[in-house]
Chain A
Amino acid sequence: MFFHIVLERNMQLHPRHFGRDLREKLVSKLMKDVEGTCSGRHGFIVAITGIESVGKGLIRDGTGFVTFPVKYQCVVFRPFKGEILEAVVTMVNKMGFFAEAGPVQIFVSNHLIPDDMEFQSGDVPNYTTSDGSVKIQKESEVRLKIIGTRVDATEIFCIGTIKDDFLGVISDPGTNA
Chain B
Amino acid sequence: MSIEPFNRLVKLAARAFYDDITTKGDNQPKSGRSDNRGIAVVILDALTRRQWVREEDLAKDLKLHTKQLRRTLRFFEEEKLITRDHRKEGAKGAKVYNSAVAATVDGLQNGKEGDDKIKMHTHSYCCLDYAQIYDVVRYRLHRMKKKLRDELDNKNTVQEYICPNCGKRYTALDALRLISPVDEYFHCESCNGELVAESDKLASQGTTDGDDNDRRRRREKLEDMLHRVEAQLKPLMDQLARVKDLPAPEFGSLQAWEVRANAVARGANGDNANDSKSGQGLGFGGTPMPFVGETKVEVAFSGLEEKGDIKSDVSVTPMKVLPPWMIKEGMNLTKEQRGEVKQESNMEGTSAAAGLSDDKKSIGFEDVKNIQVKVIAFCMVHYLFLPFSYSALSIFCPVLSCLSSPYADEYIKAYYEALFKRQKEQEEATKMLPETSTTDGVYNTSTGRQVGMKSKREEEDEGEDVEWEEAPPAGNTTTGNLKVDLNVQADASEDDNNEEDDIDWEEG
Contact residues in B for A105 (Cβ distance below 8 Å):
176
Given contacts A115-B216, A163-B155, contact A148 B185 (CB under 8 A): no
Looking at the assembled complex, report how far the CB atom of B164 sits from the nearest CB atom of chain A, in whole angstroms.
Answer: 15
Does any Cβ of B come within 8 Å of A139's Cβ? no
Query: Once the chains bind, are A111 and B175 in contact (CB under 8 Å)?
Result: no
Give chain A's interface secondary structure class.
strand
Query: Once the chains bind, are B154 and A163 in contact (CB under 8 Å)?
Result: yes
Query: Once the chains bind, are B197 and A148 in contact (CB under 8 Å)?
Result: no
Contact residues in A for B157 (Cβ distance below 8 Å):
111
Which residues of A (75-105) have their CB < 8 Å from a CB of B?
Answer: 91, 93-96, 98, 105
Query: Once the chains bind, are A109 and B184 in contact (CB under 8 Å)?
Result: no
Contact residues in B for A115 (Cβ distance below 8 Å):
215-216, 219
Query: Once the chains bind, are A95 and B215 in contact (CB under 8 Å)?
Result: no
Query: Once the chains bind, are B153 and A95 in contact (CB under 8 Å)?
Result: no
Which residues of A (93-139) have their CB < 8 Å from a CB of B?
Answer: 93-96, 98, 105, 107, 109-112, 115, 118-119, 121, 125
Looking at the assembled complex, report how far the CB atom of B218 sits from the nearest CB atom of chain A, in whole angstroms.
Answer: 10
Does any Cβ of A come within 8 Å of B212's Cβ? yes
Could you give 7 example pairs across A and B, Cβ below 8 Å?
A95-B197, A96-B159, A96-B175, A110-B215, A115-B216, A150-B174, A159-B173
Looking at the assembled complex, report how far the CB atom of B42 sits from the nearest CB atom of chain A, in whole angstroms.
Answer: 42
Per-position 1/0 for B168-179, Cβ under 8 A of A:
000111111001
Residues in chain A within 8 A of chain B (CB atoms) = 91, 93-96, 98, 105, 107, 109-112, 115, 118-119, 121, 125, 147-150, 157, 159, 161, 163-164
| Extra 9 A-B pairs, beta carbons < 8 Å, given A96-B172, A149-B173, A163-B154 | A91-B179, A107-B173, A110-B215, A111-B199, A115-B215, A119-B212, A147-B158, A150-B173, A157-B173
Looking at the assembled complex, report how far the CB atom of B404 sits from the nearest CB atom of chain A, in whole angstroms.
Answer: 103
Q: Which residue of B lies closest to A159 (CB)?
A: B172
Contact residues in B for A110 (Cβ distance below 8 Å):
197, 215
Contact residues in A for B212 (Cβ distance below 8 Å):
118-119
Query: Once the chains bind, are A112 and B159 in contact (CB under 8 Å)?
Result: yes
Does any Cβ of A come within 8 Å of B130's Cβ? no
A77 to B163: give the CA distance in the assembly, Å: 34
Query: Once the chains bind, are A93 and B158 in contact (CB under 8 Å)?
Result: no
Looking at the assembled complex, report how far the CB atom of B200 sits from the nearest CB atom of chain A, in whole angstroms.
Answer: 8
Query: Once the chains bind, are A112 and B175 in contact (CB under 8 Å)?
Result: no
Looking at the assembled complex, report how far the CB atom of A175 sits from the nearest CB atom of chain B, in whole angstroms.
Answer: 23
Per-position 1/0 for B365-391, Cβ under 8 A of A:
000000000000000000000000000
Q: Which residue of A lies closest to B178 (CB)?
A: A95
A107 to B184: give the CA distance in the assembly, Å: 14
A144 to B171: give the CA distance in the assembly, Å: 19
Contact residues in A for B219 (Cβ distance below 8 Å):
115
A142 to B243: give the CA distance in the assembly, Å: 49
A95 to B209: give the CA distance in the assembly, Å: 11
Query: Once the chains bind, are A93 and B179 in contact (CB under 8 Å)?
Result: yes
Given contacts A109-B172, A119-B212, A148-B173, contact A95 B185 (CB under 8 A): yes
Q: Which residue of B lies closest to A105 (CB)?
A: B176
Contact residues in A for B215 (Cβ distance below 8 Å):
110-111, 115
Contact residues in B for A94 (Cβ distance below 8 Å):
184-185
Query: Once the chains bind, are A95 and B199 in contact (CB under 8 Å)?
Result: no
Q: Which residue of B lies closest to A121 (CB)?
A: B184
Contact residues in A for B197 (Cβ distance below 8 Å):
95, 109-111
Given contacts A125-B184, A157-B173, contact A109 B179 (CB under 8 A): no
Contact residues in B for A96 (Cβ distance below 8 Å):
159, 172, 175
Does any Cβ of A come within 8 Å of B28's Cβ? no
A163 to B152: give the CA distance in the assembly, Å: 12
Query: Once the chains bind, are A107 and B158 in contact (CB under 8 Å)?
Result: no
Contact residues in B for A98 (Cβ distance below 8 Å):
175-176, 179
Q: Which residue of B lies closest to A108 (CB)?
A: B172
Looking at the assembled complex, report how far the CB atom of B174 sits from the nearest CB atom of chain A, in whole angstroms.
Answer: 8
Does any Cβ of A come within 8 Å of B437's Cβ? no
Does any Cβ of A come within 8 Å of B186's Cβ? yes
Looking at the assembled complex, report how far the CB atom of B96 sits from the nearest CB atom of chain A, in whole angstroms.
Answer: 56
Looking at the assembled complex, report how far the CB atom of B203 sits from the nearest CB atom of chain A, in whole angstroms.
Answer: 12
Contact residues in B for A159 (Cβ distance below 8 Å):
158-159, 172-173, 175
Contact residues in B for A118 (Cβ distance below 8 Å):
212
Looking at the assembled complex, report how far the CB atom of A121 sits from the nearest CB atom of chain B, in whole angstroms.
Answer: 7
A149 to B179: give the CA distance in the assembly, Å: 18
